[in-house]
Structure 1
């Protein structure tokens, strides 16, 4: 059975670290982004960790290891900034970002 972490706030974002996350995470806020650090998470090759972000205003700042592929889906005003691997295979983090304003910024290291 897959566990889902749910984080909800009206104003203010969420700061999430790898040790506290399960395979799926849902973060919801009217105003506020999500700052997520997955550099300490060992995601097996072929596995997918899924993060869903719902907000009116607020983006996603995601930190992953250099070998992790990040797939971004959803609708939002704001772009996606990611210089990482885009080939299939290896570990994957899927980000579904839904909102009016806020992009997705992926940092590696």
Structure 2
């Protein structure tokens, strides 16, 4: 992931499916990603992505049924917003500061689980 400059518009990835989730990760992931499905979650692995310290990576998840499984480095700050019946499992960053990943999870059933490596 590379942070775009102040004059360049941010790129947004859009992933859509009726049934089935999405796997996201890798250096090709842009600063904004929207994943939408009727039934299916999002499996996001950001452990090998170089997120600049001052960057914010935003992932929006829209689904009726399906949660978000997020894997990040220990120094990444994760903010979770949205409405869903499932809860949020996250033990927080191990140190203050660091890059930020914001998850906007909108759905009926499905929580957000953050795993730190």
For normalisation by structure 1, the TM-score amounts to 0.95
Distance 1:87 1:97 in 2: 25
Q: Per-residue deviation at 1:85? A: 2.0
Q: Per-residue deviation at 1:46? A: 2.1
The equivalent of 1:105 in structure 2 is 113
* Runs of at least 4 residues off by over 3 Å: 86-89
Root-mean-square deviation (CA, aligned residues, Å) is 1.4
- Gaps (5+ residues) in structure 2? 1-8
- Counterpart check, 1:40 vs 2:45: no
For normalisation by structure 2, the TM-score amounts to 0.88
Deviations 1:4-45 (A, max 9, x none): 000000000001112231000000000000000000111111
The equivalent of 2:13 in structure 1 is 5
Distance 1:59 1:2 in 2: 25
Larger Cα-atom Rg:
2
Would you say how many aligned residue pairs link Structure 1 and Structure 2? 109
Select the residue among 83, 91, 94 that pairs with 1:75: 83
Secondary structure of the corresponding residue to residue 38 of structure 2: strand
